[in-house]
Amino acid sequence: MALELNPQADAAPPPARPALHTAREQWEAWKNVDLMFFPLIAILIGGAAVFLGALTIGDWSYWQDWRDRRWWPLLTPLLLLTLPAVLTYAFWKYFKLPVAATAVAVGYLLSQMISRYVNFHLFTGFPMNWVMPEVWIGAAVFLDATLLITRSFAITGLVGGFFFGLLFYPMNWPTVAPMHMPVQVGESVITLADYMGFQYIRTAMPEYVRIIEYGTLRTFGGHVAPVTAFVAGFFAILVYYVFVWIGSKSARPAFMTKLL
């Protein structure tokens, strides 16, 4: 007996059914999404932080001999705070996760370590201790912890923002202090950082061989760095408020729809 073929029956779609049947399958799917999403976000955040640092901080971040006691501890924490403050609003508003500053700091450090090891150490031969990036994970953790405890942007900016700028220089002092050691070169006594600046010649010379610490901050008994750290703390409060406000405007769904 011959079987009759029905083309319409063969072309009919299968009955609709959910792609994920059990709760375990759904959990596995969400886990795979997280394994793809979070590394991508970490790379994007780290890359954005590195680009922002190179664009705004530049040579104060690259070279140890540029890390003076006046401009480096004042400008660097203020510029590093901008991206965490913008992302803090979105992370807290939509996910209730006070981790934006810490995520940016960790991504910044890892990305900078890889970039400087490859670009500065392997390709150009600069010692790693001379081009080490800034360490500000502790200040970022303090900023996020303040938001977690207070649940208020106002108090976080007043307390966390102030200590973000204040703690930056003490946290980086272990890497900067050895570069302040005096060495005798001929008949002159200079710091180790300046001596390395003469040994490892960079572009745009002699612009890089100059005294960059001009100013009158030594009127406080010669203690330049503590005064600069306190000034950075007060300015960090204003920077935090301004860029959290920018984050509140840029994280609106209407703005993101127009952007995308």
- More confident site: 171 or 25: 171
Q: Tokens 């996760």 belong to which residue?
A: 97
The residue-averaged pLDDT of 239-244 equals 95
Q: What is the mean pLDDT of the chain?
A: 81
Q: Using DSSP, state whether 175 is helix, strand or coil.
A: helix
Q: By mean pLDDT, which of 94-98, 110-114, 152-156, 219-223 is the weakest? A: 219-223
φ and ψ of 156, to 5 deg: -65, -40
Q: By mean pLDDT, which of 5-14, 28-37, 75-84, 120-129 is the weakest? A: 5-14
Question: Mind listing the domains of the chain with CATH numbers?
Answer: 36-204+225-259 (1.20.1450.10)
The residue-averaged pLDDT of 228-233 equals 92
How many percent of the chain have pLDDT more than 70?
A: 82
Sign of CA dihedral 139, 144, 149, 153: positive
In this prediction, residue 107 carries a pLDDT of 84
Residue-wise pLDDT tens digits, 12-59? 555 555 566 677 777 777 777 777 777 777 777 777 777 887 888 888
